[in-house]
């Protein structure tokens, strides 16, 4: 086991050394990408991205005329859907319909924006990682052809081939970072789009079912 670990460490060190400065930046981006993805999964789980039970139950209760029970179901919860439903019920109780719609829209936009925190960083990594890899490859190719020029008539094709494959390491590394970052970004955006659809659907249900005479809210 120790021999395997030592061999892996040696290969990794050689890979970083042969790749030049760009490979170190890409390696740092890979660590940042992993940290961002794990943090984003934890954050989305914390705000109930994959759970809509309480918010849906509150809407059902509100439609049935149980305003107090609906509020009690979502009051103080961290889920993004629950926060919007709670805000919508309060808004319907306190404001005219037009003003209530504006308030619900404001709350929904704020919560969805909070859910999307960190996505711009992933998008940036997915964009610049391949460019950094390409930059490293170009610099490596320049160095390889400079060495070929200096060798003159004594040029060794093997030397040129070695310089080229080393230069191409950075392109491969950049793509290896960008592909998972792009895939994670697409997945997170799909999750947030689903949250947005659920919020829109819930808000419409609340406004359609509102009965002003029943909104003697116990939220005062």
The pLDDT tens digits of the residues spanning 94-150 come to: 888 888 889 999 999 999 999 999 999 999 999 999 998 888 888 777 776 776 666
- Residue 6 predicted with pLDDT over 60: no
Q: 62-76, 129-143, 161-175: which has the minimum mean pLDDT?
A: 161-175
Q: How far apart are CA 165 and CA 43, in angstroms?
A: 40
Mean pLDDT across the stretch 71-75?
A: 86
Predicted confidence band of residue 33 (pLDDT cuts 50, 70, 90): very high
Answer with the residue of higher pLDDT: 82 or 18: 82
Q: How far apart are CA 209 and CA 190, in angstroms?
A: 29
Mean pLDDT across the stretch 20-41?
A: 89
Predicted confidence band of residue 39 (pLDDT cuts 50, 70, 90): very high
Residue 178 phi, psi dihedral angles, 5° rounding: -70, -35
| pTM attached to this predicted model | 0.79
3-class SS of residue 47: coil
Domain ranges in the chain are 20-214
Q: What is the mean pLDDT of the chain?
A: 81
């Amino acid at each position: 086991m120790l021999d395997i670990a030592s061999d892996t460490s040696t290969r990794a060190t050689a890979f970083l050394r042969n790749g030049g400065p760009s490979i170190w930046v890409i390696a740092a981006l890979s660590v940042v990408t992993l940290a961002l993805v794990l943090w984003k999964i934890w954050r989305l789980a914390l705000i109930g991205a994959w759970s809509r039970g309480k918010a849906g139950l509150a809407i059902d209760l509100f439609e049935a005329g149980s305003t107090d029970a609906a509020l009690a179901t979502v009051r103080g919860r961290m889920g993004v859907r629950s926060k919007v439903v709670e805000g919508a019920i309060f808004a319907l109780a306190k404001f005219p319909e037009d003003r209530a719609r504006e308030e619900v829209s404001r709350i929904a936009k704020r919560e969805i924006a909070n859910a999307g925190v960190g996505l711009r960083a992933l998008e940036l990594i997915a964009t610049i990682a391949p460019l950094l890899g390409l930059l490293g490859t170009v610099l490596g190719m320049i160095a390889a052809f400079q060495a070929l020029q200096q060798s003159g008539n004594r040029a060794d094709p093997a030397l040129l081939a070695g310089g080229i494959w080393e230069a191409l390491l950075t392109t491969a590394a950049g793509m290896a970072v960008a592909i998972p970052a792009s895939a994670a970004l697409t997945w997170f955006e799909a999750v947030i789009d689903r949250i947005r659809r659920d919020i829109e659907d819930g808000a419409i249900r609340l406004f359609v079912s509102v009965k002003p005479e029943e909104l003697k809210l116990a939220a005062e």
